[in-house]
């Protein structure tokens, strides 16, 4: 079987998750990327391609080996990859759903039109003035942003004007979204579909860093409180095939969608999710793109946490816990994946790019996991000087 995987920069999800899963499924893998020099150590065949252009992806595949699946885990390449899969008659996502999920302004319009929920929101093209009829506080964000980059809470007209000016300086020519601030506990719903009703894998409760920014610092496994609402929202968007990671807030007025990420959850929570479920998650995700059913899930027992260690100051990394894997027989299994190295210069910018490393832990209950993670942070701290 031949799997084509479209990618931009290398990610742990692809390198340590999907590529080993593809090999386990017996696939020959061709990575299509606009950065081939960065994927030479992937162990897969690598071809240069303008992966942001569906026509280029189709052309390269058509002149290479016949495909059995065309897949991407990149936020930026879902629509293009879906179009390529459809061209070759392969299982895949609806490209229109990919566009509607990626574009936060379209997400709001589709959900309101379907009667699922209404959130006051305005799309601002480059040069558009600030909206004059929306109550503060508001959130400003890029229409198609990722990783909490340039997402900021503003409380008055002055802060709104400053945010718009600064974000537009960093992102010239990009459209922005200004919407009402949705206050309440933040949750996720993780799903996997094979063409029918998506299978709910579970969900996490998300802990954010201090406002006015929205940096995710910790996710804890927790039963999803708004499962049916989120599934109705995904249906309205046409999202159902493959993996999807949806973020939503439990407001006083009910659940409200924050964003729909039409790929598997990231920041090492994908590995945590697979360990919690006791299934080869990456193989299951690739399997549906190869025509297999999503399959049954195991029973989750215990608690799981993913803690992102955030750089709290600028400086140089002088100490790191390094890579940690669980020892046999540990009552709480702890992994640590460093994202920076000793000697790296750190310049925090209030996004997920500020992560130094990710700790993930699984244990019999929340208390034991909390204690083990706290002890790990004390015994093996990151140090910035």
Task: Name the nearest CA neighbour of 307 among 247, 345, 258, 355.
Answer: 355
Could you tell me if 48 and 37 are in contact, meaning their C-beta atoms sit under 8 angstroms apart?
no
Residue 123: pLDDT band with limits 50, 70, 90: very high
pLDDT for the residue numbered 159: 98
Q: What is the pLDDT of residue 335?
A: 97
Look at residue 298 and tell me whether its pLDDT is greater than 80.
Answer: no
Q: What is the pLDDT of residues 43-83, one digit of tens each?
A: 999 999 999 999 999 999 999 999 999 999 999 999 999 99
Give the mean pLDDT of 88-102: 98
> Taking the model in full, what pTM does it have?
0.96
pLDDT category, 131, cuts 50, 70, 90?
very high
Q: What average pLDDT does range 315-319 have in this prediction?
A: 96
Q: Is the pLDDT of residue 297 over 90?
A: no
Band (295; pLDDT cuts 50, 70, 90): confident
- pLDDT, tens only, 239-255: 999 999 999 999 999 99
Question: For residue 364, what pLDDT is reported?
Answer: 96
**16-30, 291-305, 363-377: least confident range:** 291-305
Residue 301: band (very low, low, confident or very high) from pLDDT cuts 50, 70, 90: confident
Angle of CA points 339, 12, 310, to nearest 5°: 30
Share of the chain above pLDDT 90, in %: 93
What does the mean pLDDT of the chain come to?
96
CATH of 2-90, one of 3.40.50.20, 3.40.50.720, 3.30.565.10, 3.40.50.2300: 3.40.50.20
| Number of other residues whose CB lies within 10 A of the CB of residue 280 | 17
95-112+182-280 matches 120-180 in fold:
no
DSSP assignments along 60-100, one per residue: HHHTSSPPSEEEE--TTSHHHHHHHHHHTT-S---HHHHHH
Domain boundaries, the chain: 2-90, 95-112+182-280, 120-180, 301-385
Residue 299, pLDDT above cutoff 90: no
Q: Tell me which CATH code domain 95-112+182-280 carries.
A: 3.30.470.20
Residue 182 has pLDDT above 80, yes or no: yes
Q: What CATH class does 301-385 carry?
A: alpha beta
CATH topology of domain 120-180: Dna Ligase; domain 1 (3.30.1490)
């Amino acid at each position: 079987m031949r799997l084509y995987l479209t990618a931009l920069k290398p990610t742990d999800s692809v390198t340590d998750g999907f590529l080993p899963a593809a090999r386990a499924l017996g696939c020959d893998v061709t990575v299509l990327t606009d950065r081939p020099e960065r994927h030479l150590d992937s162990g897969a065949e690598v071809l240069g391609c303008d992966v942001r252009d569906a026509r280029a992806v189709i052309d390269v595949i058509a002149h290479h080996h016949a495909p059995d699946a065309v897949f991407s885990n990149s936020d930026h390449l879902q629509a293009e990859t879906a179009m390529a899969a459809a061209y070759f008659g392969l299982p895949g996502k609806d490209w229109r759903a990919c566009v509607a999920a990626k574009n936060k302004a379209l997400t709001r319009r589709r959900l309101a039109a379907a009667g699922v929920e209404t959130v006051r929101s305005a799309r601002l093209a480059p040069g558009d003035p600030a909206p004059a009829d929306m109550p503060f506080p508001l959130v400003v964000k890029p229409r198609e942003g990722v990783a909490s980059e340039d997402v900021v809470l503003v409380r008055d007209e002055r802060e709104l004007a400053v945010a718009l000016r600064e974000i537009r300086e960093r992102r010239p020519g990009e459209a922005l979204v200004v919407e009402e601030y949705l206050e309440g506990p933040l949750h996720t719903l993780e799903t996997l579909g094979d063409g029918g009703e998506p299978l709910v894998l579970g969900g996490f409760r998300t802990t954010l860093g201090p406002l006015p920014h929205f940096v995710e610092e910790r996710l804890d496994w927790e039963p999803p409180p708004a499962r049916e609402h989120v599934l109705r929202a995904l249906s309205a968007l046409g999202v159902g095939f493959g993996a999807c990671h949806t973020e939503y807030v439990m407001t006083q007025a009910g659940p409200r969608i924050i964003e729909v990420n039409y790929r598997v959850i990231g920041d090492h929570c994908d590995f945590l999710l697979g360990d919690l479920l006791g299934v080869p998650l990456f193989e299951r995700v690739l399997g549906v793109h190869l025509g297999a059913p999503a399959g049954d899930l195991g029973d989750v027992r215990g608690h799981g946490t993913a803690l992102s260690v955030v750089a709290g100051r600028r400086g140089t990394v002088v100490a790191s816990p390094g890579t940690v894997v669980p020892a046999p027989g540990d009552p709480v299994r702890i992994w640590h994946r460093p994202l920076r190295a000793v000697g790296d210069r750190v310049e925090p910018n209030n996004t997920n790019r500020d992560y130094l490393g990710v700790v993930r832990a699984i244990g019999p209950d929340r208390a034991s996991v909390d204690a083990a993670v706290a002890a790990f942070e004390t015994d093996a701290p990151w140090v910035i000087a």
